[in-house]
Amino acid sequence: MKERLYLFDTTLRDGAQTNGVDFTLADKLAIAGMLDELGIDYVEGGYPGANPTDTELFSESRKLRGKFTAFGMTRRPGRSASNDPGLAVLLEAHADAICFVAKSWDYHVRVALGTTEEENLASIRDSVRAAKARGREVLLDCEHFFDGYKANPDYALACAKAAYDEGARWVVLCDTNGGTLPHEVEQIVGAVCKVIPGDHVGIHAHNDTEQAVANSFAAVRAGARQIQGTLNGLGERCGNANLVSIIPTLKLKPEYAEAFEIGTSDAALKKLSHISHALDERLNRAPNRHAPYVGESAFATKAGIHASAIAKDPATYEHVVPEIVGNKRKVLVSEQAGKSNVLAELERIGIKADKDDPRVGRLLDIVKEREALGYAYEAADASFDLLARRTLGKVPAYFDVTQFDVNVEQRENAKGERVTVTLAVVKVKVGEDNMISAAEGNGPVNALDLALRKDLGKYQKYIDGLKLVDFRVRILNGGTGAVTRVLIESEDEAGERWTTVGVSPNIIDASFQALMDSIIYKLVKSGAPA
Ligand SMILES: [Zn+2]
Q: For residue 14, how far is its CA from the centre of ligand 1 (angstroms)?
A: 6
Give which of 507, 318, 327 is closest to 408, Cα–Cα.
Answer: 507
Residue 48: φ, ψ to 5° = -60, 135
Q: For residue 118, how far is its CA from the centre of ligand 1 (angstroms)?
A: 24
CA distance 120 to 104: 9
pLDDT at 309: 65
pLDDT at 174: 98
pLDDT in tens, 511-524: 999 999 999 999 99
pLDDT-derived band at 478 (thresholds 50, 70, 90) equals: low
pLDDT at 477: 75
For the chain, the residue count is: 530
CA distance 217 to 203: 9
CB within 8 Å of 374: residues ≥ 6 apart? 476, 478, 483, 485, 503
Phi-psi region of 478 (alpha: psi -120 to 50; beta: other; left: phi over 0): beta
CA distance 369 to 386: 16
Q: Are strands 418-430 and 433-441 parallel, antiparallel or unpaired?
A: antiparallel
pLDDT at 307: 53
Count Cβ atoms below 10 Å from residue 289 Cβ, excluding itself. Answer: 10
pLDDT at 494: 85
Q: Are strands 481-491 and 467-478 parallel, antiparallel or unpaired?
A: antiparallel
Between residues 301 and 66, which one has the greater pLDDT?
Answer: 66
Give which of 464, 411, 409, 457 is closest to 437, Cα–Cα.
Answer: 457
pLDDT in tens, 202-253: 999 999 999 999 999 999 999 999 999 999 999 999 999 999 999 999 999 9
Q: For residue 99, how far is its CA from the centre of ligand 1 (angstroms)?
A: 12
pLDDT at 230: 98
pLDDT (mean) for 177-182: 97
CA distance 251 to 262: 8
pLDDT in tens, 306-328: 555 666 677 777 899 999 999 98
pLDDT (mean) for 8-28: 94
CA distance 260 to 350: 33
Say which amino acid occupies 451.
Answer: A
Count Cβ atoms below 10 Å from residue 415 Cβ, excluding itself. Answer: 6
pLDDT score of 408 more than 80: yes
pLDDT at 480: 60
Q: For residue 381, how far is its CA from the centre of ligand 1 (angstroms)?
A: 33
Q: For residue 89, how far is its CA from the centre of ligand 1 (angstroms)?
A: 21
Q: Are strands 67-73 and 42-46 parallel, antiparallel or unpaired?
A: parallel
Q: For residue 345, how far is its CA from the centre of ligand 1 (angstroms)?
A: 35
Cβ atoms of 450 and 424 closer than 8 Å: yes
pLDDT in tens, 111-134: 989 999 999 999 999 999 999 999
pLDDT score of 148 more than 70: yes
Q: How far apart are the first and last CA of the chain?
A: 57
CA distance 4 to 226: 9
Residue 448: φ, ψ to 5° = -65, -45
Q: For residue 176, how far is its CA from the centre of ligand 1 (angstroms)?
A: 5
Report the percent of the chain where pLDDT is more than 90: 75
State the Cα angle at 448 between 480 and 403, rounded to 5°: 75
